[in-house]
Chain A
Amino acid sequence: ETGVTQTPRHLVMGMTNKKSLKCEQHLGHNAMYWYKQSAKKPLELMFVYSLEERVENNSVPSRFSPECPNSSHLFLHLHTLQPEDSALYLCASSQEFGYEQYFGPGTRLTVT
Protein backbone atom coordinates (compact mmCIF):
# COMPACT_ATOMS: atom_id res chain seq x y z
CA GLU A 1 0.00 0.00 0.00
CA THR A 2 1.66 3.25 -1.11
CA GLY A 3 -1.32 5.57 -0.58
CA VAL A 4 0.23 7.02 2.56
CA THR A 5 4.00 7.23 2.90
CA GLN A 6 6.09 8.14 5.91
CA THR A 7 9.77 9.02 6.24
CA PRO A 8 11.99 8.11 7.85
CA ARG A 9 10.93 4.59 8.72
CA HIS A 10 13.33 4.41 11.64
CA LEU A 11 14.81 7.24 13.69
CA VAL A 12 17.17 7.26 16.64
CA MET A 13 17.67 10.62 18.29
CA GLY A 14 19.15 12.03 21.44
CA MET A 15 17.13 14.08 23.84
CA THR A 16 18.70 17.33 22.66
CA ASN A 17 18.17 16.73 18.94
CA LYS A 18 15.61 18.27 16.65
CA LYS A 19 14.12 16.10 13.94
CA SER A 20 11.01 15.98 11.78
CA LEU A 21 8.75 13.19 10.63
CA LYS A 22 7.13 13.49 7.23
CA CYS A 23 3.89 12.05 5.94
CA GLU A 24 2.49 12.28 2.41
CA GLN A 25 -0.83 10.97 1.17
CA HIS A 26 -1.56 10.31 -2.50
CA LEU A 27 -5.26 9.56 -2.05
CA GLY A 28 -6.76 13.03 -2.45
CA HIS A 29 -7.99 12.98 1.12
CA ASN A 30 -8.97 16.05 3.13
CA ALA A 31 -8.16 14.92 6.67
CA MET A 32 -4.84 13.79 8.13
CA TYR A 33 -3.91 12.45 11.55
CA TRP A 34 -0.90 11.73 13.76
CA TYR A 35 -1.08 8.79 16.17
CA LYS A 36 1.37 7.47 18.75
CA GLN A 37 1.52 3.77 19.57
CA SER A 38 3.74 2.69 22.44
CA ALA A 39 4.64 -0.94 23.03
CA LYS A 40 1.60 -3.03 23.96
CA LYS A 41 -0.57 0.10 24.23
CA PRO A 42 -3.51 1.27 22.15
CA LEU A 43 -3.37 3.96 19.52
CA GLU A 44 -3.23 7.49 20.93
CA LEU A 45 -4.61 10.22 18.70
CA MET A 46 -2.26 13.22 18.79
CA PHE A 47 -3.33 15.72 16.13
CA VAL A 48 -6.04 16.04 13.51
CA TYR A 49 -5.98 18.28 10.46
CA SER A 50 -8.79 19.02 8.07
CA LEU A 51 -7.93 20.97 4.93
CA GLU A 52 -4.68 22.16 6.52
CA GLU A 53 -6.45 23.44 9.64
CA ARG A 54 -5.70 21.81 12.97
CA VAL A 55 -9.01 20.74 14.46
CA GLU A 56 -7.90 18.56 17.34
CA ASN A 57 -4.95 18.52 19.73
CA ASN A 58 -5.21 15.91 22.43
CA SER A 59 -3.12 17.48 25.19
CA VAL A 60 0.12 16.61 23.46
CA PRO A 61 3.31 18.07 25.02
CA SER A 62 4.71 21.09 23.24
CA ARG A 63 7.87 19.18 22.33
CA PHE A 64 5.72 17.76 19.52
CA SER A 65 4.81 20.37 16.92
CA PRO A 66 2.68 19.50 13.89
CA GLU A 67 2.63 21.27 10.56
CA CYS A 68 0.30 20.79 7.61
CA PRO A 69 1.41 22.98 4.67
CA ASN A 70 -1.17 21.48 2.29
CA SER A 71 -3.74 18.71 2.24
CA SER A 72 -1.21 16.13 1.02
CA HIS A 73 1.60 16.70 3.48
CA LEU A 74 1.86 16.48 7.25
CA PHE A 75 4.92 16.94 9.43
CA LEU A 76 5.65 16.27 13.07
CA HIS A 77 8.53 18.33 14.39
CA LEU A 78 10.30 16.88 17.40
CA HIS A 79 12.58 18.62 19.90
CA THR A 80 13.97 17.83 23.35
CA LEU A 81 12.15 14.52 23.49
CA GLN A 82 12.16 12.15 26.44
CA PRO A 83 12.91 8.39 26.42
CA GLU A 84 9.20 7.71 27.08
CA ASP A 85 8.47 9.28 23.70
CA SER A 86 10.00 6.23 22.03
CA ALA A 87 7.15 4.66 20.06
CA LEU A 88 5.72 3.95 16.63
CA TYR A 89 4.38 7.18 15.12
CA LEU A 90 1.64 6.64 12.60
CA CYS A 91 0.18 8.99 10.06
CA ALA A 92 -3.27 8.38 8.61
CA SER A 93 -5.62 10.08 6.19
CA SER A 94 -9.30 9.91 5.31
CA GLN A 95 -11.58 11.44 2.73
CA GLU A 96 -13.55 13.18 5.45
CA PHE A 97 -14.16 12.66 9.15
CA GLY A 98 -16.11 9.49 9.81
CA TYR A 99 -14.75 7.72 6.76
CA GLU A 100 -12.18 4.96 6.58
CA GLN A 101 -8.73 6.00 7.71
CA TYR A 102 -5.70 4.68 5.88
CA PHE A 103 -2.42 4.42 7.72
CA GLY A 104 1.14 4.90 6.59
CA PRO A 105 3.81 2.35 7.53
CA GLY A 106 4.89 4.38 10.57
CA THR A 107 8.14 5.75 11.91
CA ARG A 108 9.79 3.74 14.68
CA LEU A 109 11.30 6.39 16.96
CA THR A 110 13.86 5.65 19.63
CA VAL A 111 14.94 8.43 21.99
CA THR A 112 18.24 7.79 23.73
Chain B
Amino acid sequence: QKEVEQNSGPLSVPEGAIASLNCTYSDRGSQSFFWYRQYSGKSPELIMSIYSNGDKEDGRFTAQLNKASQYVSLLIRDSQPSDSATYLCAHARGRRALTFGSGTRLQVQP
Protein backbone atom coordinates (compact mmCIF):
# COMPACT_ATOMS: atom_id res chain seq x y z
CA GLN B 1 0.00 0.00 0.00
CA LYS B 2 1.31 3.42 -0.96
CA GLU B 3 1.80 5.87 1.88
CA VAL B 4 -0.35 8.45 0.11
CA GLU B 5 -3.02 7.45 -2.40
CA GLN B 6 -4.59 9.79 -4.90
CA ASN B 7 -6.70 9.08 -7.97
CA SER B 8 -4.56 10.15 -10.91
CA GLY B 9 -7.56 11.45 -12.85
CA PRO B 10 -8.13 13.38 -14.92
CA LEU B 11 -11.02 14.76 -12.92
CA SER B 12 -13.10 16.86 -15.28
CA VAL B 13 -15.57 19.44 -13.96
CA PRO B 14 -17.44 22.25 -15.70
CA GLU B 15 -16.55 25.86 -14.98
CA GLY B 16 -18.35 27.12 -11.89
CA ALA B 17 -18.79 23.66 -10.36
CA ILE B 18 -17.22 22.30 -7.16
CA ALA B 19 -14.15 20.13 -7.69
CA SER B 20 -13.55 17.51 -5.00
CA LEU B 21 -10.10 15.99 -4.67
CA ASN B 22 -9.43 13.15 -2.27
CA CYS B 23 -6.39 11.65 -0.64
CA THR B 24 -5.93 8.72 1.73
CA TYR B 25 -2.86 7.94 3.76
CA SER B 26 -1.64 4.89 5.59
CA ASP B 27 0.36 6.35 8.48
CA ARG B 28 -1.92 6.85 11.48
CA GLY B 29 0.75 8.94 13.16
CA SER B 30 0.66 11.63 10.48
CA GLN B 31 0.30 15.03 12.04
CA SER B 32 0.23 17.63 9.29
CA PHE B 33 -1.28 17.65 5.83
CA PHE B 34 -0.79 19.81 2.80
CA TRP B 35 -2.22 20.43 -0.63
CA TYR B 36 -0.02 21.67 -3.47
CA ARG B 37 -0.97 22.77 -6.95
CA GLN B 38 1.39 22.09 -9.84
CA TYR B 39 0.89 23.51 -13.30
CA SER B 40 2.45 21.60 -16.16
CA GLY B 41 6.19 22.25 -16.33
CA LYS B 42 6.16 24.31 -13.12
CA SER B 43 7.07 23.60 -9.52
CA PRO B 44 4.53 22.70 -6.81
CA GLU B 45 2.89 25.63 -5.05
CA LEU B 46 1.49 25.31 -1.53
CA ILE B 47 -2.20 26.18 -1.39
CA MET B 48 -3.45 24.74 1.90
CA SER B 49 -2.18 23.19 5.11
CA ILE B 50 -4.34 21.51 7.75
CA TYR B 51 -3.40 20.06 11.12
CA SER B 52 -6.67 19.36 12.95
CA ASN B 53 -9.77 17.34 12.16
CA GLY B 54 -12.50 19.28 10.44
CA ASP B 55 -12.64 21.92 7.75
CA LYS B 56 -10.32 24.79 6.93
CA GLU B 57 -11.41 27.40 4.42
CA ASP B 58 -9.28 29.83 2.44
CA GLY B 59 -11.09 31.69 -0.30
CA ARG B 60 -12.48 29.21 -2.81
CA PHE B 61 -10.53 26.35 -1.23
CA THR B 62 -11.63 24.14 1.65
CA ALA B 63 -9.47 21.39 3.09
CA GLN B 64 -11.14 18.64 5.09
CA LEU B 65 -9.29 16.29 7.42
CA ASN B 66 -10.57 13.11 9.04
CA LYS B 67 -7.75 11.43 10.94
CA ALA B 68 -9.91 8.52 12.10
CA SER B 69 -10.69 7.60 8.50
CA GLN B 70 -7.23 8.63 7.30
CA TYR B 71 -8.33 10.88 4.51
CA VAL B 72 -7.92 14.47 3.56
CA SER B 73 -9.79 16.24 0.80
CA LEU B 74 -9.70 19.54 -1.05
CA LEU B 75 -12.81 21.27 -2.35
CA ILE B 76 -12.51 24.00 -4.94
CA ARG B 77 -15.65 26.08 -5.26
CA ASP B 78 -16.57 28.00 -8.41
CA SER B 79 -13.89 26.15 -10.38
CA GLN B 80 -12.15 28.18 -13.06
CA PRO B 81 -10.18 27.02 -16.11
CA SER B 82 -7.11 28.49 -14.38
CA ASP B 83 -7.56 25.85 -11.66
CA SER B 84 -6.67 23.16 -14.21
CA ALA B 85 -3.52 21.61 -12.79
CA THR B 86 -2.24 18.60 -10.89
CA TYR B 87 -3.01 18.68 -7.16
CA LEU B 88 -0.59 16.94 -4.83
CA CYS B 89 -1.48 15.76 -1.36
CA ALA B 90 1.32 15.51 1.21
CA HIS B 91 1.65 14.61 4.87
CA ALA B 92 4.32 14.63 7.53
CA ARG B 93 4.98 12.66 10.66
CA GLY B 94 7.40 14.01 13.17
CA ARG B 95 10.85 15.04 12.04
CA ARG B 96 10.67 13.75 8.49
CA ALA B 97 10.38 15.22 5.04
CA LEU B 98 6.90 15.42 3.57
CA THR B 99 5.56 12.36 1.79
CA PHE B 100 3.81 13.27 -1.45
CA GLY B 101 1.11 11.50 -3.39
CA SER B 102 1.31 11.09 -7.15
CA GLY B 103 -1.27 13.81 -7.71
CA THR B 104 -4.71 14.19 -9.27
CA ARG B 105 -4.99 16.01 -12.57
CA LEU B 106 -7.93 18.41 -12.60
CA GLN B 107 -9.45 19.74 -15.82
CA VAL B 108 -11.97 22.56 -15.61
CA GLN B 109 -13.98 22.79 -18.79
CA PRO B 110 -15.00 26.32 -19.92
Contacts and interface: CB of A to CB of B under 8 A. Distances in A.
A43 B43 contact: no
A98 B43 contact: no
Interface stretch (A63-71, A72-80, A99-107): A99-107
B97 interface: yes
A102 B45 CA distance: 7
Give chain B's interface secondary structure class: loop
B76 interface: no
Contact of A98 (B31, B44, B101, B103): B31
A90 interface: yes
Nearest to B102: A42
Contacts of B28: none
- CB-CB nearest 8 A-B residue pairs: A98-B92, A42-B102, A97-B95, A103-B43, A106-B43, A43-B100, A103-B44, A48-B97
Interface of A: 1, 31, 33, 41-43, 45, 48, 56, 88, 90, 94, 96-106, 108
